[in-house]
């Protein structure tokens, strides 16, 4: 988990920290932004990154073959779908580092897809979580061929 001190910008308010209140001689109440802390769990950052990576054209899936196989079982359980499959985050107080495993669609330029994934993930995590993303490591674990069957086939209706 992490401690972030970034404040969301609110329309119609003065920018900068809110003034502290004077409570008497030698006592002041801290500004509202200084009264507590916000923590963001690793799993939250992993979900943000997973959704951002999946939005990139050329990404077929996230995760290695084994994690996708186990994920197929989890996906069949109500509420078991994991958007963070194939994503690992290490979250510090103000920074995070991410590792992603992706499967690309055959025919795409892998370097271009990796670049687009990196940009989309960094943008989403920094905007939503307020954390500085120091690195996004991408491992391409497979290529989805046009004639390959899906590993997670839809159940057929009888």
Q: pLDDT tens across 92-129, in order?
A: 999 999 999 999 999 999 999 999 999 999 999 999 99
The conformational region for residue 26 under phi > 0 = left, psi -120 to 50 = alpha, else beta, is: left
SS3 breakdown of the chain: % helix, strand, coil, rounded to 5? 30, 30, 40
Q: At 150, phi and psi to the nearest 5? A: -65, 140
Give the predicted TM-score (pTM) of the model: 0.69
Cα–Cα distance, 64 to 38 (Å, whole number): 33
CATH of domain 39-144: 3.30.70.1350
Query: Which pair of structure tokens corresponds to residue 57?
Result: 């054209």
Cα–Cα distance, 119 to 49 (Å, whole number): 11
Task: Give me the residue spans of the domains in the chain.
Answer: 39-144
Determine the distance from the C-alpha atom of residue 126 to the mean position of all C-alpha atoms in its chain, rounded to a whole number.
9
CA distances from 70 to 28, 38, 55, 87, 117 (A): 55, 33, 22, 15, 24
Confidence of residue 1 (pLDDT cuts 50, 70, 90): very low
Mean pLDDT of the chain: 80
Kindly report the number of other CB atoms within 10 A of residue 2's CB atom: 22
Cα–Cα distance, 53 to 65 (Å, whole number): 17
């Amino acid at each position: 988990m992490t401690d972030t001190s970034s404040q969301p910008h609110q329309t119609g308010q003065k920018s900068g920290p809110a003034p502290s209140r004077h409570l008497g001689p030698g006592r002041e109440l801290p500004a509202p932004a200084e009264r507590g802390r916000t923590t963001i769990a690793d799993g939250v950052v992993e979900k943000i990154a997973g959704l951002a990576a999946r939005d990139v054209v050329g990404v077929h899936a996230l995760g290695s073959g084994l994690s996708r196989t186990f994920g197929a079982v989890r996906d069949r359980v109500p509420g078991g779908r994991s958007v963070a499959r194939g994503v690992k985050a290490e979250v510090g107080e103000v920074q995070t580092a991410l590792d992603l495993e992706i499967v690309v669609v055959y025919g795409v330029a892998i370097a271009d897809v990796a670049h687009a994934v990196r940009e989309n993930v960094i943008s989403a995590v920094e905007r939503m979580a307020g954390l500085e993303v120091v690195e996004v490591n991408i491992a391409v674990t497979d290529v989805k061929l046009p004639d390959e069957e899906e590993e997670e086939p839809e159940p057929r209706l009888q």
